[in-house]
Amino acid sequence: MKSKDIDVVEVGKQYLEQQFLQYADNLYKKNMNEGLATNINKIKSFIDTKLKKADKSWKISNLTVINGVPIWALIFYLLRAGLIKEALEVLVDNKANVKKVEQSFLTYFRAYASSKDHGLPVEYSAKLHTEYNQHIKSSLDGDPYRLAVYKLIGRCDLSRKNIPAVTLSIEDWLWMHLMLIKESDTDNDPIYERYCLEDFQNIVISYGPSRFSNYYLQTLLLSGLYGLAIDYAYTFSEMDAVHLAIGLASLKLFKIDSSTRLAKKTKRDIRFANILANYTKSFRYSDPRVAVEYLVLITLNERPSDIELCHEALRELVLETKEFAVLLGKVGRDGARIPGVIEERQPLLHVRDEREFLHTITEQAARRADEDGRIYDSILLYQLAEEYDIVITLINSLLSDTLSASDLDQPLIGPDDNSESNSVLLARRMASIYFDNVGISKQIHIRNKENCMLLLNISRIRELYFDRQWQETLSQMELLDLLPFTDELSARKKAQDFSSLDDNIVKNIPNLLIITLNCISNMVRTLNGSKYQTSTKGQQIDSLKNVARQCMIYAGMIQYRMPRETYSTLINIDVSL
């Protein structure tokens, strides 16, 4: 018998014995008799209550009664309560009153009580078996409790393990069987003396739930059929089944694999990881935080395979639910990292490198989000993974798309926008946090930072343009140094440099040209409409038209790299000048 089988038998016996003793104690308190509340008196009270009729006569006629006490029933129920010492005490006190054929039983019982595994020496076992077969078993009017005690101590006549007259409950029946299981059966033992836990489990399985009524779940648990117990619990409550599995796993009692003998007898896959994964399906999207609390329990068995399954389940939860802030954490307004529920539960995850584990999950989720085009999720995840250069790359792409695709006549930032919904505000916040932090800033490529600052300056130019601040818009555009503002040589130089610009900047050149020419057009119109005639007025108009001319030369040189309608728009504005 394996050590875990021994544990099942011992734990089962102890539970049933303690349960019975508690029951006898409660019964004694309800029917207080004279004398001290000793365990022996409690069992005597139990016997009086259960084995006597209303007229105080015994329900079983052939009990061995000494001084008003059915002595063998008392010994049996003391054993039933796990009170071996008290049972020996009763035998010693009544040695003179037992039959001659029973005199030697005290010797056997002493050996039984003093043995660590409650087994008998070979010579005692042989003698007890002989006495049992010759005198006890064949006695037609013998005391059934004497038969039961002999059977239990000597493991006699294992072909008939139950004695209906004394097993008054399913718990009694279970205890009798657990008592008869031998912990050290060997191939040398006769076949009729072998009875192990697996034999008992097969009996329980063959009887099925109908035999045990409402006690079937308890029977499965006490007989070590944990997988079947969980399987049976599913028939009336998935919640109960799952939490039963968790309880068993926490006690290191649930280690059933799908390939084991008993697992094959279940109707469903009862691997612990699958139980928890299936249970969380109903709420993993609505309440991913709670789903994590269940999935981390996969590691309760502490087996490497289960730990890996737990990590995989958490990765899948992150990727499927996309609840990144809840699961992996988020970045506060000050740039500080706020941990998610997975990080909070890291002590239960048995990870060798906590930082590497979180980084791996986060990076996988970030790549998946990137592939799915969920750029806001990607940005959050790469922040959590501390991939700051990638964050700025994504910010640049997002900001560039917003600036190039949005209507020039519409505001970039709405009254209800925030950094979580507006790419411009997000970019400004991230740039402020990252570029002001020396440790983070040095991890970002210089070209990436320069492009980000250019795009942010373009966003400010867009705001000035929307506010119709033509002069300031043009001044900022000149400082941007992306368009020619001086002469034809400058225009040609900018055209040559065009191919070396970052794609995110290139996408915004068409809008910058339109903004510049529109500003010039509005300023020229304003100057022409002015009543005041000054010497500088003509110079201002000529200067503005020169900028427009250089921009058109530049636009002509790169027109095939811009949308066709952009060049047409520029020509129309230029003509109006």
- Could you tell me if residue 223 is inside a domain? no
Contact 125, 153 (CB under 8 A): no
Helices marked H in 141-225 — which ranges? 144-154, 170-180, 197-207, 209-212, 216-222
- Evaluate whether residue 226 is within a structural domain: no
Same domain as 94, residue 37: yes
List Cα–Cα distances, 398 to 98, 332, 513, in angstroms: 96, 20, 21
Same domain for 162 and 39? yes
Q: Residue 236 domain-assigned?
A: no
For residues 133 and 139, what is the distance between their CA atoms, to the nearest angstrom? 10
Residue 446 sits in the same domain as residue 369: no
Same domain, 31 and 175: yes
pLDDT in tens, the chain (577 residues): 455 556 889 999 999 999 999 999 998 888 766 567 899 999 999 999 999 998 989 999 899 999 899 999 999 999 999 999 999 999 999 888 877 768 889 999 999 999 988 888 989 999 999 999 888 887 767 899 999 999 999 999 888 888 888 988 999 999 999 999 986 655 556 666 788 999 999 999 999 999 998 999 999 999 999 989 999 999 999 999 999 999 998 888 876 543 344 445 555 556 888 999 999 999 999 999 999 999 999 999 888 888 889 988 998 899 889 898 899 888 777 767 788 999 899 888 888 787 787 788 888 888 888 888 888 888 888 888 889 999 999 999 999 999 999 999 999 999 988 888 899 999 999 999 999 889 999 999 999 999 999 999 999 999 999 999 999 999 999 999 999 999 999 999 999 999 999 999 999 999 999 999 999 999 999 988 877 777 788 899 999 999 999 999 999 999 988 888 998 999 999 888 7
Measured CA to CA, the distance from residue 211 to residue 204 in angstroms comes to: 9
- Same domain for 369 and 399: no
Q: How many whole angstroms separate alpha carbon 577 and alpha carbon 319?
A: 56
User: For the chain, first and last CA: distance in Å?
Assistant: 101
296 lies in the same domain as 311: yes
Are 347 and 488 contained in the same domain?
no
Same domain, 415 and 316: no
Identify which of 577, 572, 461 has the alpha carbon closest to the alpha carbon of residue 509. 461
Q: Are residues 292 and 335 in the same domain?
A: yes
Q: Answer with the one of 370, 385, 400 that is the final residue of a domain.
A: 385
Is 363 found in the same domain as 418?
no
For residue 5, the model assigns a pLDDT of 57
Domain termination residue (choose one: 180, 204, 237): 180
In a domain, 68, yes or no: yes
Q: Is residue 218 part of a domain?
A: no
Break the chain down into helix, strand, coil percent, rounded to 5.
70, 0, 30
| Residue 213 counted as domain residue | no
Secondary structure in 3-state letters for 241-303: HHHHHHHHHHCCCCCCCCCCCCHHHCCCCCCHHHHHHHHHCCCCCCCHHHHHHHHHHHHHHCC
Is residue 359 domain-shared with residue 405, that is, in the same domain? no
Specify whether 440 is located in the same domain as 537: no
pLDDT at 530: 79
Residue 389, SS3? helix
Residue that terminates a domain, selected from 180, 197, 223: 180
- The string over 449-465, giving b where at least 16 C-beta atoms fall within 10 Å of a residue's C-beta and e elsewhere, is bebbebbbbbbbbbbbb
Whether 565 maps to a domain, the answer reads: yes
The total of structural domains in the chain comes to 4
Structural domain boundaries enclosing 326: 271-385
Q: What is the pLDDT of residue 291?
A: 97
Q: Of how many residues is the chain composed?
A: 577
The residue written with tokens 């008998």 in the block is 120
Does a structural domain hold residue 224? Answer: no
pLDDT at site 191:
64
Phi, psi (rounded to 5 degrees) for 69: -120, 125
pLDDT computed for residue 460 by the predictor: 97
